[in-house]
Amino acid sequence: MKILIAEDESSLNEVITKKLKQEGFCVDSCLDGGEALERLLYTDYDMAVLDIMMPVLSGTEVLTDLRRHGKNTPVIFLTAKDTVHDRVTGLNLGANDYIVKPFSFDELIARIMAVRRTVSGNISNQITLADLTVDIDTHIITLEGCEITLTGKEYELLEYLMMNKGHILSKAKILSHVWGYDYEGGDKIVEVYMNYLRKKIDAGRDKKLIHTVRGIGYVMKEEV
């Protein structure tokens, strides 16, 4: 899961980013609302965790602009404010959840996973396609009942494809989501890693799960 952390308190930003990475999340971070909005508009994130009180743009301003541009990225607000009015305002603007500082890291993880389940329509943290299952909590992948091993980037790519199973993803979207906002290489890297995944998932199978849509991108789906 790819997450953007926007928090202007640098020490808290560093701690959240470090802990989320230790839990296996792919994390980008920034210290103001202006950069947060730019990243969210041009990079495909699974979720954003936004402090409300930030320089340049507030978290609520970021969310308002994000929704105005038609971006439905799930958003969790971080704030020191704990009034009903503040919570209602944030939720009415399109936030998916609201967490009050100080908070425990376990609570933040639980809320991130709960929002992701709600948005994806899954009742658990497991995503299944045919005999392939990805557990986005433990990062365990099983194929035909056997656990398989992937590199970090291979896992990020597979998770993104599985979260969007049945939907065609362009190379540009995959590059942005998996390699990130600051990646300066070309999109050939996508083809390279798709081939790595195919060797581990589709090799020797009559019915493939990873499909190329010529001239458009890739899709994970079960062959009929």
What is the strand order of the sheet 47-51 is part of? 26-30, 2-6, 47-51, 75-79, 97-100
Count the residues in the chain.
Answer: 224
pTM for the model? 0.76
**CATH (residue range 2-120):** 3.40.50.2300
**Residue matched to tokens 């998932």:** 201
- pLDDT value for 123: 63
pLDDT in tens, 99-143: 988 899 999 999 998 898 888 776 667 889 999 999 988 889 999
CA distance 220 to 224: 13
- pLDDT value for 185: 79
Both structure tokens of 185: 């290489």
CA distance 192 to 154: 10
Segments making up each domain of the chain, as ranges: 2-120, 126-220
Both structure tokens of 126: 């497991």
Instruction: Classify the phi-psi angles of 11: left when phi > 0, otherwise alpha if psi is within -120 to 50, otherwise beta.
Output: alpha
CA distance 222 to 70: 30
- ∠ Cα 64 66 72 (to 5°): 115
The yes-or-no answer to whether 2-120 and 126-220 have a common fold is no
User: Topology of domain 126-220, per CATH?
Assistant: Arc Repressor Mutant, subunit A (1.10.10)
Low-confidence residues in the chain, pLDDT < 70: 82, 122-124, 181, 224
Using alpha carbons, select from 105, 119, 124 the residue that is nearest to residue 20. 105
Q: What is the DSSP string of 61-119?
A: HHHHHHHHTT----EEEEES---HHHHHHHHHTT-SEEEESS--HHHHHHHHHHHHHHH
